[in-house]
Amino acid sequence: MSKNDAAPKGTPKDAHYARLRRTHRDAKAGAAKQPAGGKPARALRPAAPGAPVADGLVLLYGLHTVRAAILNPNRTILSLSVTQNALARLDIGNAAALPFPIDLVSPRDLDALAGSDAVHQGAVALAEPLRTMPLAGLGECRLLLVLDQVTDPHNVGAILRSAVAFNVGAVITTSRHSPAETGVLAKAASGALEMIAHIEVRNLASALEEIAALGFRTIGLDSEGPAVLEETLAGERIALVLGAEGKGLRQKTRETVAALARLDMPGAIKSLNVSNAAAISLYAAHRHLSDTIR
């Protein structure tokens, strides 16, 4: 008996999720598959109450988040719970043609499903996590963003929004000490989670060396870096590396990147939240890369 066919254990909600899995799997024949070479994201870890609902599943909530997930051919959605008003605001065309069940519910039902702290805006989708992409799938992208054990899901979500805004080819994270895919992260990304490739690596130093071999100039952001960022930007492919909240880049990462750079800030505060630093550095890198093709 497969894991999905096993008799559901625990609460009636667990049994409901298990039934949805089986129903969707049986109805999915012929649907679009994930790209070859990807791997399933790791099992979800417990987060805020109501966020991960079962091993390997995630609740996505909020209008932008849910709409982007529905439009993403690489996302498998098992069910959508939505208010009548939110369904109209999702603007997803013929809802009856979607390959998953839709339940019209009350806001109170969604509060119970997603947790009272979730700003669901009337829409909650039960989904499987996205798959990651291998480094070999980078293709011809010119800008990468590498996160060295950035753990806060709100920061990672905000970083994903900036990454999509500046046309980053992929975001690379570490297998350990990175946030699992949850509704909190997806809501903070406001749809960007569905719009960018995600690469997960075990050994970041080795991955940085491989990235460099592909022609990327790897630049680590450090508040005490010896040069300002603009002075370190060179070449036609850039990989920006940002460290964890508080402790910054790990020593091995600092030793592996081609350059360490700081953001030039004239005020009394010399360091920024990692998501703000990501947005500013991506803007500078994008301007540099745009200049190289003029």
Confidence class for position 50, pLDDT limits 50, 70, 90: very low
The model's pTM is 0.79
- Give the SS3 label for residue 248: strand
pLDDT for 42:
32
pLDDT for 18:
52
> pLDDT tens digits, residue range 99-140?
999 999 999 989 888 887 889 999 999 999 999 998 988 888
For residue 217, which amino acid is it? R
Which residue, 5, 42, 1, is CA-closest to 25? 5
pLDDT for 55:
66
- Strand order, beta sheet including 77-82: 58-61, 123-127, 77-82, 102-104
Residue 1: pLDDT above 60?
no
Provide the strand spans (E) within 100-212. Answer: 102-104, 123-127, 131-132, 143-148, 170-174, 197-201
Confidence class for position 69, pLDDT limits 50, 70, 90: very high
Distance between CA atoms of residues 77 and 24, nearest Å: 8
DSSP per-residue string spanning 77-98: EEEEEE-HHHHHHH--S-GGGS
Confidence class for position 208, pLDDT limits 50, 70, 90: very high
Integer angstrom CA distances of residue 103 from 10, 80, 152: 23, 6, 32
pLDDT for 53:
53
Averaged pLDDT for residues 138-146: 93
Averaged pLDDT for residues 7-21: 47
Count of helices and strands (H, E) across the chain: 10, 13
Residue 236: both structure tokens together: 């036609």
- Give the SS3 label for residue 145: strand
Residue 195: both structure tokens together: 């719009």
pLDDT for 13:
45
- Give the SS3 label for residue 136: helix
- Average pLDDT over all residues of the chain: 83
147 strand-pairing partners: 242
> pLDDT tens digits, residue range 225-253?
999 999 999 999 999 999 987 889 999 99
- 115 phi-psi bin (left φ>0, alpha ψ -120 to 50, beta other): left
Lowest model confidence (mean pLDDT) among 7-16, 106-115, 147-156, 162-171: 7-16
